[in-house]
């Protein structure tokens, strides 16, 4: 996988800069520790080729930032989290664990619209490289339609990546055309070039379908497009629940709360096993997530006191 993904990683603007981390004096103690994790992760990735250990350091750094109240409005902490995710993505890809990339990232950016441009760019290129563009369909759409992102300097680049690496490979020509015409961030030259590429790809798609009709392949592509992102959402929720449950297991001693969390998690597993991609399953799955967070909030609220054990 290392050689296969070298082109994709080379295309990520500024990705190499995260390997040379700096630690400003203004960082909080937690952010300083995260910067150390970043430096160690980069060293493990590039020098020692210990990809599993690199992912571990990235996770520790991201989790420490999430638990630091001082980092909520800190630009330097956001840069650290972004850099940790980029190194972690590359390490996962090097181990051919690319299917875990998006759920892993969404642990630290629960709303796809909040993904840093560099992280989204890398995810698009990675899934394009492994011929699974459908995974990024909903994520890319959510990000591009968020008004806060439309004023970013890299917005036009992400629009083009979404068109050329996600929409066109899936045959979404009308959506690609609408995006080109409605995107003010694209220059006149970029629009003209995009129109030509869309026209050419549409012609190739129709010509190939005419010369080599393959109903099974068409059905497979339609199924992937429709259910791929749905399954990815379920996988993301499952990863978040599993990790959160594990991190909370030893932090409180209330047996009723432990049983409640375990019951929620088991219900989730049952639904996923019975019908993992059905749209009717999602409301129930998200309700389980809400219940989980309610229990966790109750456990860690300032008014909560664990029961006295007799």
Tokens 């791929």, residue located: 228
Helix (H) / strand (E) containing 299: helix 281-300
Task: Quote the number of domains for the chain.
Answer: 3
pTM greater than 0.75 (yes/no): no
* Residue 246: domain span: 225-300
Domain match, 27 and 112 both: yes
**Cα(257)–Cα(307) distance, integer angstroms:** 11
Please check whether residue 305 lies inside any domain of the structure.
no
Compute, in degrees rounded to 10, the torsion defined by CA atoms 129, 21, 60, 286.
-50
Please check whether residue 178 lies inside any domain of the structure.
yes
Q: Is the pLDDT of residue 50 over 90?
A: yes
Q: What is the pLDDT of residues 261-270, one digit of tens each?
A: 566 556 555 5
Domain match, 139 and 119 both: no
Q: How confident is the model at residue 163 (pLDDT cuts 50, 70, 90)?
A: very high
Please check whether residue 113 lies inside any domain of the structure.
yes
Cα angle, residue 286 at apex, residues 283 and 289 outer, rounded to 5°: 155
Both structure tokens of 49: 């080729």
Domain match, 137 and 157 both: yes
Of the candidate ranges 137-141, 226-230, 291-295, the one whose mean pLDDT is the lowest:
226-230
**Cα(134)–Cα(122) distance, integer angstroms:** 15
Please check whether residue 162 lies inside any domain of the structure.
yes
Both structure tokens of 134: 């459908």
| Comparison of pLDDT for 24 and 121, the residue scoring more | 121
**Cα(170)–Cα(222) distance, integer angstroms:** 9
Domain match, 207 and 111 both: no
**Cα(234)–Cα(282) distance, integer angstroms:** 8
Q: Which of 213, 238, 259 is the last residue of a domain?
A: 213
Q: Could you count the other beta carbons within 10 Å of the beta carbon of residue 239? A: 16
Domain match, 69 and 38 both: yes
Mean pLDDT over each residue of the chain, to the nearest integer: 75
Please check whether residue 13 lies inside any domain of the structure.
yes
Residue 110 φ/ψ region, left for φ over 0, alpha for ψ in the -120 to 50 degree band, beta for the rest: alpha
Q: Cα–Cα distances in Å, from 208 out to 132, 177, 185, 202?
A: 20, 20, 33, 10
Please check whether residue 307 lies inside any domain of the structure.
no
Q: Which of 165, 187, 213 is the last residue of a domain?
A: 213
Q: Is the pLDDT of residue 81 over 70?
A: yes
């Amino acid at each position: 996988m290392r050689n296969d993904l070298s082109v994709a990683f080379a295309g990520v603007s500024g990705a190499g800069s995260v390997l040379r981390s700096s630690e400003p004096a203004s960082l909080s103690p937690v952010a300083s520790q995260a910067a150390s994790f970043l430096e160690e992760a980069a060293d493990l990735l590039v020098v020692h080729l210990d990809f599993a250990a690199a992912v571990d350091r990235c996770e520790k750094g991201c989790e420490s930032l999430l638990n630091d109240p001082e980092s909520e409005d800190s630009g330097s902490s956001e840069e650290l989290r972004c850099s940790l995710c980029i190194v972690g993505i590359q390490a996962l890809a090097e181990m051919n664990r690319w299917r875990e990339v998006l759920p892993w990232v969404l642990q630290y950016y629960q709303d796809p619209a909040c993904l840093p441009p560099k992280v989204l760019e890398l995810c698009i290129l990675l899934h394009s490289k492994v011929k699974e563009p459908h995974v990024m369909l909903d994520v890319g759409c959510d990000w591009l339609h968020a008004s806060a992102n439309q004023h970013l300097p890299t917005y036009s680049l992400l629009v083009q990546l979404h068109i050329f690496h996600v929409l066109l490979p899936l045959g979404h020509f009308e959506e690609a055309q609408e995006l080109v015409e409605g995107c003010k961030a694209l220059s006149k030259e970029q629009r003209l070039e995009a129109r030509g590429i869309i026209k050419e790809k549409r012609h190739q798609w129709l010509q190939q379908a005419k010369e080599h009709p393959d109903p099974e392949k068409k059905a497979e592509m339609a199924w992937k497009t429709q259910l791929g992102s749905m399954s990815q959402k379920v996988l993301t929720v499952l990863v978040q629940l599993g990790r959160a449950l594990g991190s909370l297991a030893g932090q409180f001693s209330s047996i009723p709360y432990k049983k409640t969390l375990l019951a929620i998690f088991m219900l989730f597993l049952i639904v996923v096993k019975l019908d993992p991609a059905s749209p009717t399953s999602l409301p129930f799955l998200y309700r389980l997530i809400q219940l989980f967070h309610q229990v966790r909030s109750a456990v860690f609220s300032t008014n909560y006191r664990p029961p006295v054990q007799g």
